[in-house]
């Protein structure tokens, strides 16, 4: 492992230079990786491994949109695409990439398909950490491992195709074979990770659930709506309000942050913007700290996971979800966003 200094704290990471793709292929040469689920993470991880020369099969419910998508992506029914349980029986590494609620539903059947020495692979610590709610307790005679890409399944694939990769965390929950770590690192490299950093199942799920509800999605969307609404209330046009709230962030400023950090972005903005941002940053931080404290406590206590499992297991979940997403899509703010995106040069 390479030791990297993160803000004065030394951490260890694994890079593809240290653990090469050739080494990963050697570790996995006798394995059959069964990717169960072809929804969010499944396609990116499966296709990346396939392109990297790993023996990959996909397990998915037949006569579903995801089954059809797997066929479109080149997986062949009866050869590299199978119903869930059949794929699980054929695999020596079982990547359990169904939704959290889907894992709960299918676990009793999948558990019966696991053989001595198999590796059960997760990309989220949810099912293992909240076992009292999920009922997922792996048998003793298998490895239980995790590689969690720090991005959406779509980004796992697009970053792989453009050669940049995506960072991933990894963890070992159970090492039955004595090979759990090398299997985990090999799989992390095979799915296209830019680098891998160690975590635990518990830390992964606590940070992931907090991040999704916080800065990455929930907080971001809420803050955007608040600023847009204030600008509109004071007479700014939808175009101006959207550009000042979303477009400038996503098309300019966040790219500067990605290149060299927040201080570098500040340094490359006007002095007026610098001063205002530096003055208001602590005000926003102090205002939201109580919310983040509340959020983290609800993640740790299982309140958030209980909500997820109840909502996502409801028979009308998809209809309710689509209604919520349509409300966002059809709001003035995001209708303005659609119009602004259409005016980008590449879309005209």
Q: Report strand pairing: 56-59 vs 33-36.
A: parallel
Q: Where are the alpha helices (DSSP H) in 136-270?
A: 153-161, 180-190, 201-213, 218-233, 238-242, 248, 254-260, 262-267
Q: Which two tokens stand for residue 346?
A: 């590449």
Specify the DSSP element, H or E, that contains 13: strand 9-15
Q: Is 81 helix (H, G, I), strand (E, B) or coil?
A: strand
Cβ partners under 8 Å of residue 336, min gap 6: 238, 239, 241, 242
Cβ partners under 8 Å of residue 244, min gap 6: 227, 231, 236
Helix axes 317-329, 303-312, angle to 10 degrees: 100
- The answer to whether the beta carbons of residues 160 and 48 sit under 8 Å apart is yes
Cβ partners under 8 Å of residue 51, min gap 6: 160
Count of alpha carbons within 13 angstroms of residue 141, beta-carbon side: 8
Q: Which of 124, 176, 234, 236 is catalytic?
A: 124
Q: Which residues pair with 146 in a beta bridge?
A: 122, 171
Cα angle, residue 185 at apex, residues 184 and 188 outer, rounded to 5°: 90
Q: Which two tokens stand for residue 304?
A: 């958030």
- Known catalytic residue at 124: yes
Buried b (16+ CB within 10 A) or exposed e, 148-186: bbbbebeebbebbeeeebbbbbbbbbbebeeebebbbbb
Cβ partners under 8 Å of residue 92, min gap 6: 30, 31, 32, 33, 115, 117, 118, 119
What residues act catalytically?
124
């Amino acid at each position: 492992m390479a030791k990297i200094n993160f803000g004065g704290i030394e951490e260890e990471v694994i890079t593809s230079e240290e653990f090469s793709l050739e080494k990963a292929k050697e570790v996995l040469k006798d394995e059959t990786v069964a990717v169960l689920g072809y929804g969010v993470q499944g396609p990116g991880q499966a296709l990346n491994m396939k392109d990297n020369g790993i023996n990959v099969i996909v397990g998915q419910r037949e006569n579903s949109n995801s089954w059809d998508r797997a066929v479109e992506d080149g997986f062949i029914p009866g050869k590299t695409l199978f119903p869930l349980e059949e794929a699980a029986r054929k695999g020596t590494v079982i990547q359990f990439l169904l939704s959290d609620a889907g894992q709960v539903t299918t676990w009793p059947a999948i558990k019966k398909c696991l053989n001595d020495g198999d590796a059960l692979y997760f990309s989220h610590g949810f099912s293992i950490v909240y076992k009292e709610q999920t009922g997922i307790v792996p048998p003793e005679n298998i490895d239980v491992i995790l590689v969690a890409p720090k991005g959406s399944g779509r980004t796992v694939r697009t970053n792989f195709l453009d050669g940049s990769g995506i960072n991933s965390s990894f963890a070992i929950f159970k090492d039955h074979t004595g090979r759990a770590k090398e299997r985990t690192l090999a799989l992390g490299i095979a799915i296209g990770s830019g680098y891998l950093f160690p975590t635990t199942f518990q830390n992964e799920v606590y940070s992931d659930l907090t991040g999704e509800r916080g800065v990455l999605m929930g907080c971001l969307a809420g803050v955007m709506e608040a600023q847009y609404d204030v600008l509109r209330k004071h007479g700014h046009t939808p175009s101006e309000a959207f550009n000042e709230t979303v477009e400038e962030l996503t098309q300019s400023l966040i790219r500067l942050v990605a290149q060299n950090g927040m201080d570098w972005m500040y340094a490359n903005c006007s002095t007026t913007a610098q001063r205002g941002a530096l003055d208001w940053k602590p005000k926003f931080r102090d205002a939201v700290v109580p919310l983040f404290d509340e959020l983290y406590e609800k993640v740790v206590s299982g309140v958030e996971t209980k909500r997820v499992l109840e909502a996502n297991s409801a028979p009308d979940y998809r209809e309710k979800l689509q209604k919520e997403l349509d409300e966002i899509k059809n709001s003035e703010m995001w209708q303005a966003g659609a119009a602004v995106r259409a005016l980008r040069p590449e879309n005209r």
